[in-house]
């Protein structure tokens, strides 16, 4: 009986340890995923464009194809690579993170620049010359390529936020971030791309006037909803990208931007009274966003005139 009781004590201790470990994983995953919010919002805002112009019956299968590739990218390719870098080349994480932050700044600044200087989008003209199957194949390939870049950002940002040393806890936390974010993004995308169909269905088949009015409201509101999501995504990208650059420079030894932003946030918070926490965060995020916008605007000529032409020359599209 004493041996059985001792066994129960051991089982209870192991269960308690496992629960503690799971709490650590959940806490770290939550912290890491929150910092990647800018990339997540932009991913949800960008992805619906890949089903535009295709048959409604193919929308959800296309979203599933992209989501399945996203799971594979994060869990099979990027997670092991991130953990190997953390274990053997940790000094590379800050430069890689800053490269990713610069990419976010460029993407966000490019969207702002296109609002100021509109450009002609050649996508619809191309779509008219392609069969539906060929167009779907091209769209899926393009979406998977974009998702891989954004997934690399999410995993790198998430890894940088983990402040615990256990290898398996880091692996499980990153896996939880990958699964949770991918499910959230593509679940939201599926809802967004089918919202119009739901609105039309309610408008056409609704038996009551309020139901039909709801359907018409959904259809009319979707362009506004997508515009709001895109705007939030752009702002979040500039904020996160700028924050990554500022903290990266601070880690590499150039402390001025970080110290100036911290000082400004502290001074603003001191004048805010009860809302000092919110004011301090808002000032920090705003100044990080300004750094992100300025950095992105400076990168636009370099990317459009040098990096993109060089990439097109090195990796020509196959016929």
Q: What is the pLDDT of residue 50?
A: 63
Could you tell me the pTM of the whole model?
A: 0.71
Say how far apart CA 200 and CA 214 lie, in whole Å: 10
Q: What is the pLDDT of residue 6?
A: 47
Q: What is the pLDDT of residue 278?
A: 86
Q: What is the pLDDT of residue 294?
A: 96
| Intervals of the chain under pLDDT 70 | 1-54, 119-132, 162-165, 315, 317-319
Say how far apart CA 162 and CA 175 lie, in whole Å: 13
Q: Which of 289, 299, 154 is nearest to 234 (CA)?
A: 289
Q: Which of 5, 132, 112, 127 is nearest to 58 (CA)?
A: 132
Say how far apart CA 266 and CA 283 lie, in whole Å: 9
Say how far apart CA 79 and CA 66 lie, in whole Å: 18
Q: What is the pLDDT of residue 309?
A: 83
Given phi > 0 = left and psi -120 to 50 = alpha, else beta, which region is 166? beta
Say how far apart CA 144 and CA 68 lie, in whole Å: 10
Say how far apart CA 117 and CA 109 lie, in whole Å: 12
Q: What are phi and psi of 315, to 5 degrees?
A: -125, 70
Given phi > 0 = left and psi -120 to 50 = alpha, else beta, which region is 253? left
Cβ neighbour number for residue 264 with a 10 Å cutoff: 15
Q: What are phi and psi of 193, to 5 degrees?
A: -75, -20
Q: What is the pLDDT of residue 38?
A: 52
Query: How remote is the C-alpha of 244 from its chain's centroid?
Result: 14
Q: What is the pLDDT of residue 54?
A: 65
pLDDT digits (tens, 9 = 90+) for 19-73: 444 444 444 444 444 555 555 665 555 566 666 666 777 778 888 888 899 899 9
Three-state DSSP state, 118: coil
């Amino acid at each position: 009986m004493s041996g059985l009781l001792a066994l129960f004590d051991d089982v209870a201790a192991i269960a308690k340890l496992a629960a503690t470990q799971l709490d650590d994983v959940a806490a770290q995953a939550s912290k890491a995923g929150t910092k990647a919010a800018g990339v997540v919002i932009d991913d949800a805002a960008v992805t619906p464009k890949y089903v535009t112009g295709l048959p409604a019956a193919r929308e959800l299968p296309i979203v599933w194809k992209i989501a399945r590739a996203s799971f594979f990218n994060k869990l099979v390719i990027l997670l092991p690579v991130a953990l190997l870098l953390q274990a053997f080349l940790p000094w590379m994480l800050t430069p890689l993170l800053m490269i990713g932050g610069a990419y976010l700044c460029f993407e966000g600044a490019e969207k702002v620049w296109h609002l100021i200087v509109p450009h002609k989008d050649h996508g619809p003209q191309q779509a008219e010359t392609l069969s539906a199957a060929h167009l779907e194949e091209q769209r899926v390939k393009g979406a998977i390529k974009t998702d891989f870049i954004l997934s690399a950002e999410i995993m790198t940002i998430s890894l940088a936020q983990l402040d615990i040393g256990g290898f398996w806890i880091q692996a499980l936390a990153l896996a939880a971030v990958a699964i949770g974010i991918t499910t959230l993004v593509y679940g939201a995308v599926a809802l967004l791309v089918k919202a119009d169909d739901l609105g039309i269905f309610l408008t056409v088949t609704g038996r009551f006037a309020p139901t039909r009015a709801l359907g018409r409201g959904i259809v009319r509101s979707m362009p506004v909803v997508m515009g709001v999501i895109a705007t939030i995504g752009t702002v979040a990208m500039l904020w996160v990208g700028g924050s990554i650059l500022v903290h990266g420079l601070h880690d590499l030894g150039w402390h001025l931007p970080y110290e100036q932003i911290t000082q400004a946030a502290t001074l603003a918070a001191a004048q805010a009274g009860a809302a000092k926490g919110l004011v301090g965060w808002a000032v920090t995020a705003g100044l990080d966003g300004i750094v992100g916008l300025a950095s992105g605007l400076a990168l636009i000529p370099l990317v459009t005139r040098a990096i993109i032409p060089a990439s097109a020359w090195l990796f020509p599209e196959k016929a």
